[in-house]
Structure formats: C-alpha cells, structure tokens
Structure 1
Amino acid sequence: MAVTLYFDSATGPATFHAQAFATSYRGTGCLLDGEGFSESSESWYFLSAVETDSGRADGIALFGDSITDGFGSTPGADRRWSDALASRTGRAVLNAGIGGNLLLNDSAWYGERGVRRVERDVLQLAGVDTVVVLLGLNDIGFSETDVQPTYKPAPVVSSGEVIGGYRELIRRGRACGLAVIGATLLPFGGSDHWGERAAKVSHEVNEWVRCSGEFSGVVDLNRVMADPGDPDRLHPAYDFGDQLHPNDEGYGVMAEAVVRCL
C-alpha cells in the first residue's frame, strides 16, 4: 500500500516516525502522476496509522522500544520481529514500538512514557486481543551512559519500580479484555546500556517476569537470544553489531519464541 500526501504550503514542524526502516519519497510540487519524487528518507511523516478491517479480532500488539520498532533490521525488507510474527501466524500484528521509549518516564526525544501511551497505542485499537510487552530496558540502561544527551531523563530505577510499571500495564490490559504476555528483556552485556547496576536490575526484573505468574503468559526472549558462552550477551549470530539490538535473524528467532507462547 502506498499513501501519498500533498501540502499546498509550508507546514512547519512535522510529526514523524524517525526510524521506520522503510523508504519514503518526497519532492516539490503536485506529484500525483507519480513522477518527481527526487528525495528519500527512512522516516515516515505526518501519517500516524492506517486502519483496516481484517475481519478478525485476534490481532497482536507488540508494545516496546527500539527493539520492537525494528532497529537493526534491514531497511525496506520488512524484517522486524512484528513482520516475522505476522508471516508466521497469519494474524494482524501491530507494531507499537518507539525507539528510546521508556516505561516510567516521558522523554522529549523518545515520547510519552509506556504506562501512559498504552491507552492510545494499544488499548484503544480495534481487533486486538493480545499484547506482548517488551519495555523497560531503557529505563534500566540510560543512566549507565553519559554519551547520549538524548538519554535524559535517566533516573536510576529499581527492579520494583519497573515491576510496578508492568503491573500497571497488566491491570489496564486485562480491564480491556486483553491477554498480556510478558517478554523478558534481551541480554545487553557489552552495550552502552550495560553496567553493574543495570545487570542486577535486569536480572531481577527478568526473574520476576518468569516466575511471578502475573502475566497471562511469558516468552523468555532473554534465554533464546543469549550467547550460550556468556548469557549476559546477545548471541553473536543475532547481534546487529551494538550488542543491544538484534539483526534480521535475531528478530526471526524472537517471533518464533512468541509463536510457541501463543
């Protein structure tokens, strides 16, 4: 599907999805004949969603950060884990990932906190009966680095605070009749998010996800994506190259793990 937008005057600042991992084209003038799109971008501008009717009510929403957004996948190839999951299940899969997003705090760069935006990005959507939550790694890891000025706010959070955020998502999802599946955080040892405190908190959070029984189901992405020789690190075959984000193969493995959980 192609969506073409035309603006007859300057718009000023544009809303956009910064890392869409798909190509958009633009040009000057009225280009309804399909010619003259001389510039390209991997961002999507203005358009926030396209609503369709699949005739089914078993859609899956993936709720998360840049890993859900598809960072590290091949641009233009539809190799995010949402794409892989849709192809494996035949179900509608909605990608509600925002790169850099936090579970507990708003960010000028990375959007509204997860416990708030879940209403707009998941709960108000028609045709969804399941949500997979993979969020919280940035809350844990942003405070480990001073490299990125965009990693603010970066308060030091405890495992209890992250778990409290998960419980809020579970409560609100179930109130809307959704199955809320918890995903353990992927290994991120060696990345710019890693440190002694981040390691401790992520281990505690993942153990709670696995053992608490509070989610409708659990997909243990941490274990399926780990390097067998160093479980705190991504498997080298699945690593995009920053020891934080998966590559195309890794996203496929994540989708397979969710299929087994559904």
Structure 2
Amino acid sequence: MTSFRVTRVLTAAVAAVLLLSPTPAAATEQHHGPAWVGSWSMSAELPNEFTFEPNWSEAGFDNHTVRQTVRVSTGGDALRVKLSNVYGSTPLRVSGAAVAKAAEGASVRPGTARPVTFGGSRSVTIPAGRELFSDPVWVRTSSLERLSVSLYFAQPTGPATFHAWASETAYRAVGDHRFARDGKAFTETTPSNYYLTAVDVVDFGNRARRAVVAFGDSLTDGSFSTLGADNRYPDELAERLVAAGKPMGVRNAGLAGNRMLDDSLCFGDKAVARFQRDVLDVAGVRTVIVSEGINDIIALTQTEWHPCGPGVPDLTAQRLIESHRELIRLAHARGLRIIGGTVLPYKGNPYEGVYSEEGEAIRDALNEWIRTSGEYDAVADFDRAVADPADPDEIRDEFDGGDKIHVNDAGYRAMAEAIDLATL
C-alpha cells in the first residue's frame, strides 16, 4: 500500500473514532474517546429583517460564497464546524466549505485554506430543522486565533438561519470563492452571521480541557461593542483565562433581545426553550454563566406596540425567579456548575416608556435573589461592576454604550473582570 493510501486510511479511521465516540461531555468524563471542546459559538435565530443594519437572512443565498470570521477561545490539533438549518423550511444544500487562518478583512493567510467535509463528502444537505457537525479538519489552532470559514451555496437556499448581532463582519461574493486568498471578490458585507453556529476543537495533549458557556441577551451577545474587535464580555473572559494560564473553551450563547419568559419573532426562543441546544449540547461544557431578564422587564411597558411580540403584562420578579430556577435545575441535572449574573441598570434610557419604576423594582428584587438566595453555585455581580456609585440604578458614564442599557468595550471588560475565575 502506498504511503498516500496509508495516510488516507489512517485519517478515515481516526475520523470515524471522533465521529462515532460518545458525546464529548460523556467522553471527557469517562476518559476515553475524543475530548471535543466548544471554542466558539453563535446562537441561531429565525430569519428576520428587524435589525438596524441590512442582513441577508430573508433573501438567503444563490450562487454565493459567504465568508465569516471567528476567534476561537482555545486551540487544538483539529477542529470541526457546526452548521444549522434549525429555522429553515426546506433542506439546505451546502455545495462546499473551507476553513483558513484569517487575515485582514475577507483575506486569508496564504497556504492555510483546508476543505471541510461532511461524512467524507465536500457537499452536504442538511434537513429543515436540523444541525450538523463537519468531519474533523486537521489544522492546528492556538488560543485566541482568528479563523475564516467560507460556505458556498450553488443553489437557492431560501431564508437563512442566522444570528443578527454578530459584532463581526460577514462577506459575500458571487460564485465559488471558498479558497480565494484575497478578499477582492467579497464586495458585500453585513454584521450578521449565517448558518455557522459553532467551532469545536480537540487537543490530544490536554484531554481534561473544558468549556464555559456565557448564556444571555444582548449584553452577552456584545451589542454596542466595537465591530470586529472581539471585545464582548465572553471574549474578554477568554483573554483573562489565557493570561492566567487556564485556557478553557468560552462559548458565547448571547442573543440580543432575548427574554426569559417569551419567544420572539426577532429575538429568538425564550431562555428555557434554547437552553438545551445552546448550553447542554455544547462539547465539554463544565460551567454556564446566565445573564437574562432585562428584556422581559423592558417589555413590561411595551405590551401592545412592540413589533417582535408583546411582553408579559403581569410580569413579576417571582416569575423571573422561577425561570432562573428552571435553568438551574436543568444545569444541575446535567452535572454542570451554573453562575448567576446580576441584571444591569437601565435607568436613563432616552426612549420614552422604556424605563419604569415598576420595572426597576422587579430588577432590584431579581438581583437580590441572585445575590443572596444561594441557589446559583456562584454569582457574577455585573450590576455592581458597571453601576454608577452616585446612582446605582444607572450605568456609569465611562461604561455607557450610548443608551444607558448597553455598555461599551470598557463596560464589557468590567463585566468579564467581575467573574471569579476560580468559580469556573
């Protein structure tokens, strides 16, 4: 047998082991099989146009290559990507995919592009309502390294499962440009993410490595952070872990506008409904940090006009607490640690009707329960980390993202610093 054929046979055999072994979390616990670890993610949502920037979700793609940049939180010897058609109404045909080391803009580093296969094939059809992992891609990555993932769609896709507020630029070109080194063909851009929902890594030298999932709303998603700068609080947390010599996978499961109690046409499934897919199914997950509730509180005064679905007119702190308890129950049933993040201030928002004294009382009561009940395994006091000492119901000016609800890059850094790394 030639050396080329031997290599192919060995590669196929190792890939089969990786793909057919127990789930990553179980494999890690049992000390056998591949220790896949979630290293990057975006939460999926319904195609919609309710964003402040144009996106391609409703129109979808036809003879287009979409190139997206991700920064892995921890590296490894191989990686796999996850593509999602959970909100598609028809099967999704992916004509081809590639991964490379990212350069400036839509460019990639010379000689780094690798094809991505699915069950040994360079193309794949993902049924409506399903997700799919690729085969292992044998490329070595480092912690905090930026990668480029290119997806080619030769046929019309229909409306696309996507993530509206990616805080990163996606690029589109007409035709198949998966392996293009420069970005000249990619003439269209959008700050959203399409179909790509996860990157996992496997490091054969560190089988005990685990992942933490940051689960929440726009303040986890990173709204108002600098586009393409990786300054969301989960990004800052990953940097802290690397600097401390404790590299863990950090997955961002934030979803702008997301609520605890209600599904939304624009802002995704409610927290409990998406917890399985966005947290419990994550490879190697050990800990989850929860930061949810402000959108339910804001929607308290927007029960009639809100275009993405009304809020809960009879909202109480107790109802929010019960939803948090359900997340705690689900996490503990899986053997995970779960950390409660307090809800940030929102007084001072310039838009009429957003802030209310009733809503503030609910926020205060929810935060008091998170801090003192002992039901969470630990607390990340995001509220006190960014609140104005002169008025704790407002975000400090130096952390304000511009609307007194969201924070800026410095505010996200303060949120990350509020997390005790020992609790992870």
Deviations 1:234-261 (A, max 9, x none): 0111110000001000000110111356
Pair 1:245 & 2:406 matched: yes
The residue that corresponds to 1:38 in the other structure is 187
Residues 39-118 of structure 1 aligned to structure 2 (within 5 Å): 39-54=188-203, 55-90=207-242, 91-118=248-275
Pair 1:187 & 2:345 matched: yes
The residue that corresponds to 2:307 in the other structure is 150
**SS of residue matched to 2:197:** coil
The residue that corresponds to 2:294 in the other structure is 137
Q: How far did residue 52 of structure 1 move?
A: 1.9
Aligned residue-pair number = 262
The residue that corresponds to 2:320 in the other structure is 162
**SS of residue matched to 2:174:** coil
Deviations 1:62-81 (A, max 9, x none): 11001100001000000000
Residues 214-253 of structure 1 aligned to structure 2 (within 5 Å): 214-253=375-414
What's the C-alpha RMSD, in Å, of the aligned pairs? Answer: 1.6
Largest Rg, 1 or 2: 2
Compute the TM-score of the two structures, normalised by the length of structure 1: 0.95
Distance 1:177 1:78 in 2: 30
**SS of residue matched to 2:401:** coil
AA matched with 1:10: P
Q: How far did residue 153 of structure 1 move?
A: 2.4
Pair 1:8 & 2:166 matched: no
Deviations 1:209-250 (A, max 9, x none): 111111101111111110111110001111100000010000
> Which structure dedicates a bigger proportion of its chain to strand?
2
AA matched with 1:232: D
Distance 1:182 1:27 in 2: 42
Q: How far did residue 148 of structure 1 move?
A: 6.5
Whether the 8 Å CA contact 2:303–2:310 is kept in 1: the answer is no
Q: Which moved more, 1:20-29 or 1:43-52?
A: 43-52
Change (3 A) 1:119 1:32: closer
Distance 1:261 1:205 in 2: 24
Distance 2:154 2:167 in 1: 27
Candidates 167, 172, 180, aligned match of 1:21: 167
The residue that corresponds to 1:257 in the other structure is 418
Distance 1:186 1:239 in 2: 11
The residue that corresponds to 2:284 in the other structure is 127
Change (3 A) 1:112 1:217: same
Whether the 8 Å CA contact 1:24–1:44 is kept in 2: the answer is yes
Change (3 A) 1:222 1:148: farther
Whether the 8 Å CA contact 1:57–1:128 is kept in 2: the answer is no
Deviations 1:88-133 (A, max 9, x none): 0132111000111111111111111101110110011121111111
Unaligned residue ranges in structure 2 (runs of 5+): 1-146, 243-247
Distance 2:193 2:343 in 1: 27
Whether the 8 Å CA contact 1:57–1:129 is kept in 2: the answer is no
Unaligned residue ranges in structure 1 (runs of 5+): none
Whether the 8 Å CA contact 1:142–1:152 is kept in 2: the answer is no
Whether the 8 Å CA contact 2:302–2:310 is kept in 1: the answer is no
> Runs of 4+ in structure 1 displaced over 3 angstroms?
54-57, 145-148
Distance 1:102 1:15 in 2: 19
Whether the 8 Å CA contact 1:22–1:75 is kept in 2: the answer is yes
Change (3 A) 1:142 1:28: same
